[in-house]
Amino acid sequence: MIDWIPIMYLAGGLVLGLVTGLPMAFALASSSIVVAWIFIGPMSLPFVATNIFGMMSNMVLVAMPLFIFMACVLEKCGVAHALYDFMQQLLGGIRGGLSMGTVLICTLIAAMSGVTTTGVVTMGIIALPIMLKHGYSKSIAIGPILAGGALGILIPPSVSLIIYGMISRVSIGRLFAAGIIPGLMLSFLFLSYIGIRCYFQPHLAPALPPEQRVSLKEKILLAKGLVLPVLLILAVLGSIFLGIASPTEAAAVGAVGALVSAAINRRLNWQMVKEASYRTMAVNGMIMWILFGTACFTSIFFRTGGTQLVQDAIIGAGLEPVQFFLIAIAIMIAFGFFVDEITEMMIIVPILLPIVIQLGYDPVWFGILFMVEEQMDYLTPPFGFTLFYLKGVAPPEVSMGDIYRSILPFVAIQFIVMLVILFFPQITLWFPDVIFGLR
């Protein structure tokens, strides 16, 4: 018989920590250590420390700071500026073209960096003022930046997929391959929505006037801005999919490639490298502390029988697989309103994944389903981090109300894609099977 009392204290301690403003990592760790000391005894603490050390020594995590460093360098090396100049002239002549170009650039940045902040911050600085200057409605200028930036959580080399692979112990390469088609599907649907809406409401996003457009020859010259991003993407993902390098080795290739891109654009200097390194340490340190805190929490949650309690309740309910996944999605969405994606992943995945496998579903597919849901969390308050990233770099006339209103249609598109992935798992599994073979 599982004792409810320590589980209730564990959950209550976490809620108390969050309500009082304690940082997430310390709320998780302190609640678990107190519960372990009271209900299991002091000898349980070495067990917690062993779990944390096991996580610290996982070689998969080496890829994470390398990809973060690559993203930080790309923010400063001028690649995004060159891309936007090209997209502005290529698509600016059609209604909504600047918004469409922004989504395409965010898709490329996601495939180069693996994090959400790069696309959102970079396009918020470069693209948003230009779109507003050209008379774009805030709703059609802000939403594409947020939705496109959030693709970084799904499109490889996603740092979140690396963490999921570490938790679920599945191939990072297969996860990367599985994220490509859903990521491109979302990008295509964002573009379609913008195009259709601007066709029926042309006042929202007027085309560039003829005098601001350039000739075909100049557009071809501007296309050189695509060369470095495409080469970097091919170097990172191609080396993984061709079996030349592991994800960790490919991350090192990406970090070097980002520095080479900065050198080619004449942006490489000691100050830029120092700033990128400092930011990498700050972001990676934040993620690692959250991982350590959740390692404490999940180890005690397992030890007190919380995981078994949840699994028994779900299995005992006799749910059909579709019913189970709909409930799981509802739980993940609700959870995402209050915690960041790494904490949610570390707590939810160890509980639900064994049930997913027991029902006969592929953990790679579940990882992609989880990431699409996490994208929604990134775009919804109060923990929708991309909303606050954009507010921090947006022009003064952009309010939080403008940001909230602009994102609603894109969240609806993400929800639809999540349901499509739920009912058609092969969308995510076909490409990994082609690249790596059937398991």
Q: How confident is the model at residue 383 (pLDDT cuts 50, 70, 90)?
A: low
pLDDT above 70: residue 438:
no
- Print the domain residue range for 184: 60-436
323 compared with 307, residue with greater pLDDT: 323
Lowest mean pLDDT among 195-199, 273-277, 309-313, 431-435: 309-313
Q: DSSP readout, 114-168?
A: -SHHHHHHHHHHHHHHHHHHTT--HHHHHHHHHHHHGGGGTSSS-HHHHHHHHHH
331 compared with 18, residue with greater pLDDT: 331
| Domain contains 337 | yes
Q: What is the mean pLDDT of residues 157-172?
A: 87
pLDDT for residue 439: 60
| Domain contains 44 | no
Q: Record the pTM.
A: 0.85
pLDDT for residue 346: 80
| Domain contains 240 | yes
**Structure tokens, 308:** 């078994």
pLDDT above 80: residue 4:
no
pLDDT above 80: residue 217:
no
Residue 165 CB partners (closer than 8 Å, separation 6+): 60, 171, 172, 175, 367
| Domain contains 208 | yes
Q: What is the mean pLDDT of residues 58-66?
A: 78
User: With the C-alpha atoms ordered 23, 25, 26, 32, is the resulting torsion angle positive or negative?
Assistant: positive
pLDDT for residue 49: 77
Q: How confident is the model at residue 87 (pLDDT cuts 50, 70, 90)?
A: confident
Q: How confident is the model at residue 382 (pLDDT cuts 50, 70, 90)?
A: low
pLDDT above 90: residue 426:
yes
| Domain contains 93 | yes
28 compared with 196, residue with greater pLDDT: 196
pLDDT above 70: residue 2:
no
**Structure tokens, 360:** 């006969």
Number of domains in the chain: 1
| Domain contains 17 | no
| Domain contains 203 | yes
| Domain contains 246 | yes
